[in-house]
Amino acid sequence: MEELQDIPHLRNTRHHPTTVQLLEMCKDVSEGMAYLEVQQYIHRDLAARNCLVDSNGTVKVTDFGLSRYVLDDEYTSSAGSKFPVRWSPPEVLLYCKFSSKSDIWAYGVLMWEVYTLGKLPYERLNNTEIVDQVSRGLRLFRPQLANEKIYSIMTSCWSDKADERPTFQELALTVQDLLYELQ
């Protein structure tokens, strides 16, 4: 069995990943999520803490405790349900409406985590402030390690309108194309 570590091992100062390695991590996650999307599953808790890295550097999406199989790509949780606020789009924060597009938003936040080497999203805000600010249009800043193309992928995931966000299939292709440019 391979030894697996979670993505936040990026915080380890002895391990300085290259920009190609960071993008490969994002590619692995987008491909795993594209598979789930085709199978009609919504993860609902996509974050770096729920991804594991094997000894070859391959990233695997894990922790399916909140996932749901959906036929119409939508799941509305009951009022009072817990969910990861820092990784959630406005439609989840305001109406508890989950879909593959809410997973896309979380993927953009996960990319941000990768490119900040494991920082906490909206680290200075509490959950109530996050709900208010994200609903008003606040988005995460461009990480130093992310160029404009990489940040534009992140921001495409954070569109206010869920139907304007890309699919995981599209994201996987976009990230793959960018990897070819970098190599």
Rounded Cα–Cα distance for residues 109 and 115 (Å): 10
Measured CA to CA, the distance from residue 29 to residue 174 in angstroms comes to 13
Please give the radius of gyration of the chain, using alpha carbons only, rounded to the nearest integer: 15
Q: Which residue, 145, 111, 105, is CA-closest to 7?
A: 111
Annotated catalytic residue 160: no
Which member of 6, 45, 63, 73 is catalytic? 45
Q: Rounded to an integer, what distance in angstroms lies between the CA atom of residue 138 and that of residue 122? A: 10
CA–CA distances in Å: residue 171 to residues 5, 23, 129: 24, 12, 29
CB within 8 Å of 33: residues ≥ 6 apart: 43, 46, 61, 103, 107, 168, 171
Q: Report the catalytic residues.
A: 45
